[in-house]
Structure 1
Amino acid sequence: MTPKERLMATLNGEKTDRIPIFTSIPFAVGKDGFRPGPFHGYDDYDNWRECDPEYWKLVKRLEEECDNFFIWRPKCMISDQFFIPPSMVEELPSQERDGRIETVYQMKYENIMLTQKKGVKPGTGHTWQLEHYCKTADDARALLEIPWQGEPVEANDFQDIVKYLGDRGVVWVTIPSPLLVVCRLFDPMEFLILTATERDLIDRLMETAYERIYNNLVKLLELRVGPIIRFGGAEHATPPLMSPYDFDWLVVNYDKPLMDLCKKYGHKVAVHCHGNIRHALKRFVEMGVDQTDPVEAVPDGELTLAEAREIANGQITLTGNIQMKELYNSDESHIEERVREIISQAGPTRLVVSSTGTPLEKISPRLARNYNCMIDSVLKYGKL
C-alpha cells in the first residue's frame, strides 16, 4: 500500500498491510520532494531547519518510508484575523532582548488601539506570545464594534501541495475551533476568569468567531480542499483548565455544526487535543470525529491507551503517543518498548503511531537515533 492508501484505509477502519507511522516532524513539499520547513501557514524566523543535516536525513526518511499528514493552513484560518482586521495592523520595528527578537503589533481603528507582542528565538522554533490584544473585557467589547474584514478565502497553493505530496501522504486542512480564536485574544489566565465572570461576553465572542469561521469554511470546502479537516483548540477546555460542563459549552456547541458541515462535503474530521481527554473523547465519539491526536495517556494524561481505545469504540483513529520528552531523553530500548506498548494497547486497527509534538531545535544525535528507532519499531512490529 502507498502511505496515502494506508492512512485513508486506517481512518476508514479497513484492513491495511501495517500500522502507519507519522513522526510529526514539520516539512515542506515541492517539485524536488520533501525538505525541512515549518508547518504550512507558520513561519520560522530563519532557516535553521534547512541548516541542520540531521533534520534533512529524517525528512528524507519521512519521504521514503513514513506515512505523512501534511498540515495545510490557509491565511483565512489564522486565528488573529477573525477579530483583528489585517488592514488595521501595523508591525513595529523589532527589538532584541535576552536572546530573542520581540515584535509589537498595533491594531488601530478610530479611537481604539490594541497591541500584542510576540517573541522568537533565532535558530530555533521557540516562540512566545508575550502580550495579547485584549487586556480587559472592555477591549473585547471594542473588538465586537469594529467592522471586520479578514484574509481572503483562497486555496491557490493547495492543488500544488497535493500534487507534490502525491501518494506519500494526505493533507490535514487545519482550522481553528471558535474557542481557539476567542481564548487567544486574552492572556490564558484572564480568559479563564472571564469564562466565569463575563459569560455573556464570551458567548458573543464565540458566536462571532463561529459565524466567521463557518463562512470561510464553506468557501474553502467549495474550493474542494480536503480530505481531512483538522480542528485545533479543544484542549483549552479540558481539565484542569475547565470542567466537562465548560467543554460542552465551548467546544461541543460550537464545533459540532462545523464538523457536520465538513461531513456534508464528504470529508473526515480530525481533532488535535492535548491533555486530560476522557470526557472530550466521549464527546468526540458523539460528534462524529474520525481521528484525534496526540492521545496523551497516563502519566501525562488521565487515561490509558486501552481505555481510550474502549471509549473510541471502533469509530475514532487514535494518533499518538510517544512524548517528546521520551524522544529527547530516553534510549532506543525504551522507544522500542513504547511502540510495542502502543500497538498492544491501542492497536492494531484505527491506530497511527506518532509523537506528541515537534522538534523546536536542531536535531541532537540522541533525538535522531530515537526518531529512527520509532520508525524502525513501527515497521517491525506494526505489520498486519
Structure 2
Amino acid sequence: MTSRERLQRALLREPTDRVPVSTYELVGFNSKAFENREPSYRRLMDAVRAKSDCVAMVEPSSNETFLCSAHPVEMEVEERTEDGRRIVRRILHTPLGELTSTVETIQGVVTSWTTEHWCKTPEDVDRALSVPYVPLRYDFSEVRRVRAEVGERGIVMTSLVDGLLLAAELMEFGDFTVWATTEPEHFERTLRILHERNLENVRRMLQDEVVDLYRICGPEYATPPYLPPSRFRELVTRPDSELVDPIHAAGSKARLHCHGRIGRVLEAIADTGADALDPCEPPPDGDVALEEVKRRVGHRMCLFGNLELRLLEMSEPAEVRAAVRRCMEQAKAGYGYVLMPTAAPIGIPLPRRTEENYLAFLDAAEEYGAY
C-alpha cells in the first residue's frame, strides 16, 4: 500500500495495512522547505522520508492586498533591525483612516510574531472593513511543484482560514475576547462579512484547481476558556460547514484544525461535516483523552495527532515510545487514525534531543502501528 493510498483510506476510515504517520509541518517531499535545506535537520528528514506518510502542506499564491481582498491599497512599510530582531511596521491608509501593524522575526527561528495588531478597537475594525472587497486570483505553480515531488508518497494539503480566525486575528488576543464578549453584535457582523469574502475566495480557488485535503484553521478561537461553548455552533459549526460543502462538491476532503479544550464542543465540530480533526491534544493542553475523542466522534471523522510536540522536544526516547504506544492503544482500533505530533520544531539548529526523540517516535510508530 502506498502512502497516498494509506492516507486516503484513513480519511475514509477504511482498513489500512498500518496506522499512517504524519510529521505535520515537517514535509519530506518539498525541496524548498527550510527543513530540507537546513543541515542540522538532514538526518531527521531522511528518516521522515523513509518512515512516514507525507501530508505536504502548500498553498497557492494570490494577489491579496489586505483582508481577503485584491483591492489596491496604499501601504507604507518601515523596516529596522534591533537586538537581533527584524521589525517590520506597516501603515495602511483605509477609506476611514489609518491602521498600523508590526511583525517581528528572530534569526534562527522559523516563525514570526505580531507585536502590534491592525485593530485596537471596534472602530479600527470598521476601518479595516472599509477596504473594498475584490475577489482573489490564485497561482498554483508551487502546488503543482510540490504535488510532483510527493507523487505516491503522500497527499497534498492546503490550509484555509475561517471567518472566526480572520476576525479574531485583527486584534491582540485579549482585545479579541473582550470585543467578542462585550460587543457580540458588532463581532458577529464582522465575522459574517469576512466569512462571505473568504467563502467566495475558496469557491474561486476550488474552481481553478483542487488538492487532496484542505485544513480549516480558526475554530480554536471559540473554545473554552476563550468563549463559551454555547457560541461555538454559531461562530464555527454553521459558517465552517459552508466551507466544507464546496470542498466536498469539488471531490476533496476537509480537516478541521482546533487546538486546546475541545471536549465540550466535539459534536459541534463533527457537525461541520469535516472529514478529519487535528491535533487532538491530550491533557493538560487539551481536556479530553484520545480514546474519548475516538468514542464520541471517531465514527464520523478521521483523527490526526495526540503526540505533543513538547514531549518530542523535552522528554527522553523511552517516554516518547510509551506515548506512541498509548496513542495506538486508544485510537488504532477501527481505523481512521493518523499518528501525528501536535506541532513541529521551528528552531535552527535542530537540538539533538529533539532529533533523537523524533527518531524514537518514527521507530515506535512502525513497531506498534501495524494492523
8 Å contact 1:7–1:20 — kept in the other structure? Answer: yes
Where does 1:278-289 land on structure 2 (aligned, <5 Å)? 278-289=263-274
| Pick aligned residue for 2:74 from 71, 79, 88 | 88
1:118 Cα offset (Å): 0.3
**Amino acid corresponding to residue 184 of structure 1 in structure 2:** E
Report the AA paired with residue 300 of structure 2.
Q
Query: How far apart are residue 84 of structure 1 and its match?
Result: 8.6
Deviation of residue 77 (structure 1)?
Answer: 9.8
Query: Match of 2:148?
Result: 163
1:364 to 321, 333, 351: 351
- Residue 268 of structure 2 aligns to which amino acid in structure 1? R
For structure 2, list consecutive stretches of 5 or more residues without a partner in the other structure: none
2-structure distance, mates of 1:373, 1:170 = 24
Q: Which AA in structure 2 matches 1:15?
A: P
TM-score by length of 1: 0.90
Q: Partner amino acid for 2:180?
A: T
User: Does structure 1 residue 37 correspond to structure 2 residue 22?
Assistant: no
Counterpart selection for 1:221 from 180, 202, 206: 206
Aligned to 2:52: 66
- Of residues 281, 300, 304 in structure 2, which corresponds to 1:296? 281
Aligned-pair CA distance for 1:78:
7.5
Matched AA of 1:284: I
Which residue pairs with 2:367 in the alignment? 380
Please say if residues 320 and 360 of structure 2, whose CA atoms lie closer than 8 Å, have aligned partners that are also in contact.
Answer: yes
Hey, what does 2:24 align to over in structure 1? 24
Report which stretch shifted further, 83-92 or 368-377: 83-92
Q: Calculate the TM-score normalised by the size of structure 2.
A: 0.93
Which residue identity is paired with 1:16? T
Cα deviations by residue, 1:160-200 (Å, 9 ceiling, x for unpaired): 32122101111112110111111111111111111122222
Q: 1:327 to 1:313 in 2, by over 3 A?
A: closer
Distance 1:188 1:84, change over 3 A: farther
Q: Is the 8 A contact 1:328 1:366 kept in 2?
A: yes
Measured at CA, do residues 313 and 352 of structure 1 come closer, stay the same or move farther in structure 2, by a change above 3 Å? closer
SS at match of 2:139: coil
Aligned mates of 1:375, 1:225 — CA distance in 2: 30
Matched residue, 1:127: 112
1:151–1:263 CA distance, 2 compared to 1 (3 A):
closer
Percentage identity across paired residues of the two chains: 27
Letter in 2 for 1:277: I
1:114 corresponding residue in structure 2: 99
- Partner-residue secondary structure (3-state), 1:22: coil
Structure 2: how far apart are the matches of 1:211 and 1:8?
30
Q: 1:92-137: per-residue Cα shift (whole Å, max 9, x none)?
A: 2x22223311110111135621110000001212421100111111
Code of the aligned partner of 1:68: C
Kindly tell me: are residues 78 and 128 of structure 1, through their superposed partners in 2, closer, same or farther at Cα, counting changes over 3 Å? farther
- Match in the other structure for 1:6: 6
Name the CA shift for 1:224/1:76 in 2 (closer, same or farther; >3 Å): same
TM-superposed deviation, 1:86: 6.2
Instruction: Check the 8 A contact 1:230/1:272 in 2, yes or no.
Output: yes
Corresponding residue for residue 234 of structure 2: 249
Amino acid at match of 1:117: T
Alignment-derived partner of residue 45 in structure 1? none
1:370 aligns to what SS in structure 2?
Answer: helix
- Match for residue 44 of structure 1? none
Q: 1:271, 1:293 within 8 Å by CA — same for their partners in 2?
A: yes
Residue 371 of structure 1 deviates from its aligned partner by 0.3
**2:192 counterpart of 1:196:** no
Residue 202 to residue 110, structure 1, CA distance change in 2 (3 Å)? closer
CA gap 1:338/1:26 in 2 versus in 1, 3 angstroms:
same
Per-residue CA shift, 1:264-314, capped at 9, x if unaligned? 222211011100011332112222221111101222211111111011141
Q: Structure 1 residues 329, 36: closer, same or farther in 2, change over 3 A?
A: farther
Whole-Å separation in 2 of the counterparts to 1:9 and 1:262: 18
**Helix, strand or coil for the counterpart of 1:359?**
coil
Which runs of 5 or more structure 1 residues have no equivalent in the other structure? 39-48
Q: d(CA) in 2 for partners of 1:248 and 1:109?
A: 32
* Residues 1:323 and 2:308 are matched in the alignment: yes
Task: Assess if the C-alpha contact under 8 Å between 2:276 and 2:304 holds in 1.
Answer: yes
Contact 2:279-2:304 within 8 A present in 1 as well: yes
Amino acid at match of 2:156: V
CA distance in 1, matches of 2:159, 2:63: 8
CA distance in 2, matches of 1:51, 1:144: 40
Q: What amino acid sits opposite 1:364 in the alignment?
A: P
**Are the equivalent residues in 2 in contact too, given 1:158–1:225 (CA < 8 A)?**
no
1:339-358 → structure 2 map (5 Å cutoff): 339-348=324-333, 349-358=335-344
Contact 2:317/2:357 (8 A) holds in 1: yes
SS in 1 for 2:241: helix
Q: Decide whether the 8 Å contact of 1:154 with 1:220 is kept in 2.
A: no
